Amino acid sequence: MRWANTRVVVTGGAGFLGSFVVEALHARGCREISVPRSRDYDLRESDDIARLYDRTRPQVVVHLAAVVGGIGANRANPGRFFYDNAIMGLQLMEYARRLGVEKFIAVGTVCAYPKVTPVPFKEEDLWNGYPEDTNAPYGLAKKMLLVQAQAYRAQYGFNAIHLLPVNLYGPRDNFDLESSHVIPAMIRKFLAAKERGEPSVVLWGDGSPTREFLHVEDAAEAIALATERYDGSEPVNLGSGEEISIRELAELIAAEVGFRGEIVWDTTQPNGQPRRRLDVSRAERLFGFRAKHPFRDGVRQTVDWFVEHRAALAEAALIEAGPTP
């Protein structure tokens, strides 16, 4: 791919993952990257999508925009998470096909996998059951983009690929407790408890589920590599291939922020999917991706970033104001 002469649209390009993807493309020499903002384009509306494509005339579309959140946000907004994510992706891909876009990269989610999937999760197991209940609407909405990509390739010869990243983390993550995922939520809770001198922190579930995490910079590199090198119909996992229990994760983050109190597990709240670890061999084989960031180093980097930027985030109302360091 001749990046210098390629026009690219990155939906969600101002967000957590998207900002790193834009940087990865810039580093490859891509000069014409358009990042639609929600104040200018509502990607749930077909007229706005048509207007975006008419203005930018993209050759490549990387679709990252999504309505996302942790277990609590998914339980509170199942209808919104299904509709908004499905309608955005379906229309973006359809209008890209009509316009003759050369390549469409749909970024899905590990939440599309069945609740009970043999570990490590292999791409061929994707259709062997229903997703975990708490995030099934979101996971299924994203999963439909895989069906669309394969159907469009079969009927129209449209070059759409589908990537399945595991849980992401790193600098610039969403630290709003109402919608954040597990790592930023834990960082905020433990840091606040330490600064307020609280004796304990309450976390959901019993700590037994396991999760795999991928540093956001690794995820961005994987997406850039797939855009350059992969043109197949089969979905591809993006992950580190390593697994950690939620209990071990909590102890790690507590130690990183210096919280020495008790961790209390609220077993009246759901655990979510029992285990998550991906088979990541397909990504390495097809486009040479392997994660590079050691997990403990990445968690420390994320903690440091939040401590440094907390005041600015509060001022921008991206998080509520809390204790200052």
Instruction: Name the residues annotated as catalytic.
Output: 138
Distance CA 15, CA 117 (A): 30
Q: Helices (H) and strands (E) in the chain — how many of each?
A: 10, 12
Distance CA 271, CA 63 (A): 29
Distance CA 186, CA 83 (A): 29
Token digits for 34? 């358009």
In this structure, are residues 247 and 45 in contact, taking their beta carbons and an 8 Å threshold? no
User: Computed from CA positions of residues 310, 312, 318, 322, in that sequence, does the dihedral angle turn out positive or negative?
Assistant: positive
Task: Give Cβ neighbours of residue 281 (< 8 Å, ≥ 6 apart).
Answer: none
Phi, psi of 210 (to 5 degrees): -110, 155
Residue with the two structure tokens 């849980």: 167
Distance CA 311, CA 65 (A): 26
In this structure, are residues 110 and 34 in contact, taking their beta carbons and an 8 Å threshold? no
In this structure, are residues 197 and 325 in contact, taking their beta carbons and an 8 Å threshold? no
Distance CA 322, CA 112 (A): 35
Task: Give Cβ neighbours of residue 105 (< 8 Å, ≥ 6 apart).
Answer: 60, 61, 62, 63, 160, 161, 163, 223, 226, 227
